[in-house]
Homo-oligomer: A and B are copies of this chain.
Amino acid sequence: MPYLNKIVSTPEPVDCRILTAALDLFVERGFHNVSVHDVQKEANVSIGSIYNHFGGKEGIAKALYYHLLNEFEEMINGVIEEDLSNRERCNKIILQLFEYTESRRNIISYMLHAKHREFLPNEPPICSSTPFTSMRKIVQQGIDAGEIRPGNPWVVAASVFGGAIRMIHLRLDGVIKEPLTQYYDEVIDCIWRGMNPGEVTKSRQPRPVEMAN
């Protein structure tokens, strides 16, 4: 995610100052608890500039969302273009997400925690955006290539990425105290253990008989 660093760390141009200020405030207080005046104050620009550049508060959120989504997509595409197995691609994506959660927490928080449909009503949910569909596609290719045990695509994809995404949520909420990167190896191990295509399910616990309620 090269350009993203530019946005986040060197806030010289006006657009960037506004976006970085908005990102920090949105994550800290939530979109609806931040006024345009707050952003203006934090970014050291005038209200007029904000309206000139982004047309309003929703415009900021929108620009931020698409910008970060685009960076996310580029990261995924970068991984796809590398000469790796599909399993390794999944691993690398998870590693990048873990590292970003630690180094650029607000970016991940904005993308995962924000309820974008509240201010982007016509947009599809983030789960159906390109980067996420790409992730599911990688899993599917892994199945087709015989690297991953076959199964329903949704279930397999959720099994591969669900644990890691859950860890990110717990970390962002402050429930997990240690950096995620130190859990990386074990997370990866947990994911793929049992995901080998030829493996036979052994000693699976029987489903409880009486399940009604």
Contacts and interface: CB of A to CB of B under 8 A. Distances in A.
A126 B166 CA distance: 13
Interface stretch (A17-25, A43-51, A65-73, A184-192): A184-192
A59 to B, nearest CB: 17
- Looking at A85, A95, A170, the one whose CB has the most chain B CB atoms below 10 A away is A170
A199 interface: yes
Contacts of A167: 154-155, 158, 162
Nearest to A114: B115
Contacts of A166: 158, 161-162, 165-166
27 contacts: A30-B115, A84-B208, A87-B205, A88-B207, A91-B207, A92-B211, A113-B115, A125-B174, A127-B169, A127-B175, A128-B173, A128-B175, A149-B193, A154-B167, A154-B183, A155-B183, A156-B190, A158-B167, A159-B163, A162-B162, A162-B166, A166-B166, A190-B194, A193-B194, A193-B195, A193-B204, A196-B202
Interface string A125-150: 11110000000000000000001010
A211 B99 CA distance: 11
Contacts of A190: 151, 155-156, 159, 194
Contact of A189 (B126, B183, B201): B201
Contacts of A30: 32, 115, 117-118
A152 interface: yes
A164 interface: yes
Given A158-B167, A188-B207, 5 more contacts: A154-B167, A155-B167, A155-B186, A190-B194, A194-B195
Given A91-B207, A173-B125, A158 B163 contact: yes
